[in-house]
Structure 1
Amino acid sequence: MRGVNRFTLLGKAIRIDSTTISAISSGTIRHRLPQFAPYGTFSIGNTQWLSHSLIDHLGISNPSVVRSIGGVMYSSAAAASLNQHVHPDELPRAAEFKPKEVVLYQYEACPFCNKVTAFLDYYNIPYQIVEVNPINKKEIKWSNYKKVPIVTVEGEQMVDSSDIIDKLLIKMHPDYDLNGDEEKKWRGWVDQHLVHVLSPNIYRTVPEALESFDYITTRGNFGFTERLVSKYGGAAAMYFVSKKLKKRHNITDERAALYGAAEQWVDALKGRKFLGGSDPNLADLAVFGVLRPIRHLKSGRDMIQHTRIGEWYSEMERRVGQPSRISGQS
């Protein structure tokens, strides 16, 4: 679930009438919606609308969930002994890990891609960005893996956001304990809970859905026509899909669920600056990464205003710092 499936759009016009809206709302539309969001395609007649990409990024990984919504739319260099594990607080930045070329294939608004960029930025690992067109995905035709993020490190392909991060960290710190109970628990919480509350919030109302798709299509690799079709078609479809997801995940109040998740995270800090202590660990970076695409949407603004997460988020922004991406690809 750490990737986004394809966004396929066939046909030349958007058709949203009362019959279509009813079909979307009732979940009778069959497979696939565009890779619109950070967070699926469905077809009407011969027209393919949106692609699984968003479903995956929203944490809709359970096949029964996909079916239910008609397929519509995640070492220290000086270890004293083999029995000693590196503590996150002891990790230096990537001083010894200096690959000649790191390339990230991504969608700018994808929360799982943002997990990877948060890691790369924090550890000052220079990387090039290839923004993938979610319609034809020509930028990753070379790969058998048809989701993002994909990272290549000097030609070696890595996929799945959590696995990418694990492999990169082990390259930097071979003795790092990836099975630390607290860190592992909260990294799992990000993929299994936090991402599930995002879609119902960012598509909660029609204006919010339009705001979200304006962000997605403005920053994504879309052509002019693709951008218009994706913005309005995607916003309409995801507005109704979000209601299905809300029901599926037993969410009665979208904002309450988002605020609750934010407060749960702050409680997990137990007064520490970060879950990792004085420095962020992988769980801190994961939470920060998936929240980064919504930070300046209404849902993100509301979250900062109405919960205690703002101080931690601002400190994470400061510690992660400026993107370490380099020019050369786009």
Structure 2
Amino acid sequence: MRRVNGIALLGRTAAGIGGATRVSGATPQRLVQAATIGLCSNSNPLWFNRQSSGDRFGLSKPSVAAGGAKCFSTSVAQEVHSHVSADKFAPNDVVLYQYEACPFCNKVRAFLDYNNIPYKVMEVNPMSKKEIKWSDYKKVPILKVDDEQMVDSSDIIDKLFQRINPENSFVDSEEEKKWRQWVDDHLVHVLSPNIYRTPSEALESFDYITSHGNFSLSERLVAKYGGAAAMYFVSKKLKKRHNITDARAALYGAAETWVDALKGRQFLGGSTPNLADLAVFGVLRPIRHLKSGKEMVENTRIGEWYSRMEGAVGESARVNA
């Protein structure tokens, strides 16, 4: 009976986005936010709690899909990936505190994977957040590097880049800076209206979120069905907030805008990815095998670039805790 009441409360939350009735020790609103990566750092007010210049959904490395994405040969992938190394930066312990589906967490993971930096993952329970009670910072991603805390995905990446490349003063090119900002200010905003576009797509998204997140059985049930219903309605507000009339058109437009930015190059960085390439790739990984991501590849030119990025990023550098 408690579970049924919880789902009903989440349904009412979708209409009003408020209330303080608790479900399993958390408000329905907070459960919806947590289940939808609402506590990722640097998100916008609904996508969520924007802090500064912007900051996830992440799938484990997907295979190259059909519909325009060409296979990236292993030999070429190894050639592209071989130039990056953590030899100049070899910390003893790197731990990423994250939500599996957080796009900003996945930006950090893409950088770590690309640079072959072994890291452990600590999945944060979105309800209790007990895994980060030690920190005054209560959002993710948080990266601990030999007990040093780093926060905010873009800041984390900048600091790591400087440590890997100490000889560089690291001033983004104007192009790279522009497109990294575009990811945070535009690309992330078109994702939510797409993954929650229809009731079935919202349910598909929450099926993934709850399968990978750190939820109890009761939280998983409430989040999957109640959260999907809530975010279906919230996505309508997001469309209005960001002046999106057609969610798919906005997603396809963003994908085409990115391909145009490449100007025929393999990557924005030229023959190898730069930080903007990694940011776009990290943010898109979570939707790649959802309906919205599949249709994006089928209906735009982004598939070949995405395939090259899979090869360039290579295997995950994640290690068991």
Normalised by the length of structure 1, the TM-score is: 0.79
Q: Work out which of the residue numbers 1, 8, 14 in structure 2 matches 1:24.
A: 14
Q: Work out which of the residue numbers 261, 264, 267 in structure 1 matches 2:260.
A: 267
For 2:39 and 2:276, locate their aligned partners in 1 and report how far apart those are by CA, in whole Å: 20
Post-superposition CA distance 1:75-113 (Å, at most 9, x none): xxxxxxxxxxxxxx9x74322111111000011111000
Q: Work out which of the residue numbers 136, 145, 149 in structure 2 matches 1:153.
A: 145
For 1:256 and 1:199, locate their aligned partners in 2 and report how far apart those are by CA, in whole Å: 13
Q: Work out which of the residue numbers 24, 29, 33 in structure 2 matches 1:50.
A: 29
Match of 1:276 in 2: 269
Other structure's SS at 2:29 match: coil
Deviation at 1:58, TM superposition (A): 9.8
Q: 1:134 to 1:271 in 2, by over 3 A?
A: same
For 2:239 and 2:39, locate their aligned partners in 1 and report how far apart those are by CA, in whole Å: 16
Amino acid at match of 1:24: A
Structure 1 range deviating more: 232-241 or 51-60: 51-60
For 1:324 and 1:274, locate their aligned partners in 2 and report how far apart those are by CA, in whole Å: 22
Q: Work out which of the residue numbers 210, 213, 235 in structure 2 matches 1:217.
A: 210
Post-superposition CA distance 1:172-231 (Å, at most 9, x none): 112142331000100000000000000000000000000000000001111111111111
Does 1:241 pair with 2:234?
Answer: yes
For 2:41 and 2:141, locate their aligned partners in 1 and report how far apart those are by CA, in whole Å: 14
1:157-196 → structure 2 map (5 Å cutoff): 157-174=149-166, 175-196=168-189
Other structure's SS at 1:14 match: helix
Other structure's SS at 1:235 match: helix
Please tell me whether the aligned partners of residues 166 and 178 of structure 1 are also in contact (alpha carbons under 8 angstroms): no
Match of 1:250 in 2: 243
Q: 1:285 to 1:164 in 2, by over 3 A?
A: same
Other structure's SS at 1:129 match: strand
Match of 2:319 in 1: 326
CA RMSD of aligned residues (A): 2.5
Does 1:135 pair with 2:114?
Answer: no
Other structure's SS at 1:157 match: strand
Post-superposition CA distance 1:11-59 (Å, at most 9, x none): 8832438x955x734xx432xxxxxxxxxxxx26556113345346597
Please tell me whether the aligned partners of residues 88 and 165 of structure 2 are also in contact (alpha carbons under 8 angstroms): no
Deviation at 1:305, TM superposition (A): 0.6
Please tell me whether the aligned partners of residues 126 and 326 of structure 1 are also in contact (alpha carbons under 8 angstroms): yes
Q: 1:122 to 1:242 in 2, by over 3 A?
A: same
Bigger relative CO (Cα 8 Å, ≥ 6 apart): 2
Amino acid at match of 1:14: G
Match of 1:125 in 2: 117
Q: 1:138 to 1:11 in 2, by over 3 A?
A: farther
Please tell me whether the aligned partners of residues 39 and 139 of structure 2 are also in contact (alpha carbons under 8 angstroms): no
Q: 1:125 to 1:230 in 2, by over 3 A?
A: same
Other structure's SS at 1:158 match: strand
For 1:264 and 1:29, locate their aligned partners in 2 and report how far apart those are by CA, in whole Å: 33
Deviation at 1:61, TM superposition (A): 2.3
Q: Work out which of the residue numbers 288, 292, 300 in structure 2 matches 1:307.
A: 300
Identity %: 64
Amino acid at match of 1:29: I
For 2:39 and 2:184, locate their aligned partners in 1 and report how far apart those are by CA, in whole Å: 11
Please tell me whether the aligned partners of residues 57 and 112 of structure 1 are also in contact (alpha carbons under 8 angstroms): yes
Which segments of 5 or more consecutive residues in structure 1 lack a partner in the other structure? 1-9, 31-42, 67-73, 75-88
Please tell me whether the aligned partners of residues 195 and 290 of structure 1 are also in contact (alpha carbons under 8 angstroms): yes
Match of 2:44 in 1: 61
Please tell me whether the aligned partners of residues 22 and 28 of structure 2 are also in contact (alpha carbons under 8 angstroms): no
Please tell me whether the aligned partners of residues 179 and 276 of structure 2 are also in contact (alpha carbons under 8 angstroms): yes
Q: 1:153 to 1:58 in 2, by over 3 A?
A: closer
Deviation at 1:318, TM superposition (A): 0.8
Amino acid at match of 1:146: K
Does 1:288 pair with 2:276?
Answer: no
Post-superposition CA distance 1:268-312 (Å, at most 9, x none): 000000000000000000000000011110010010110000000
For 2:93 and 2:4, locate their aligned partners in 1 and report how far apart those are by CA, in whole Å: 40
Other structure's SS at 2:116 match: coil
Match of 1:104 in 2: 96
Normalised by the length of structure 2, the TM-score is: 0.82
For 1:223 and 1:13, locate their aligned partners in 2 and report how far apart those are by CA, in whole Å: 17
Please tell me whether the aligned partners of residues 58 and 199 of structure 1 are also in contact (alpha carbons under 8 angstroms): no
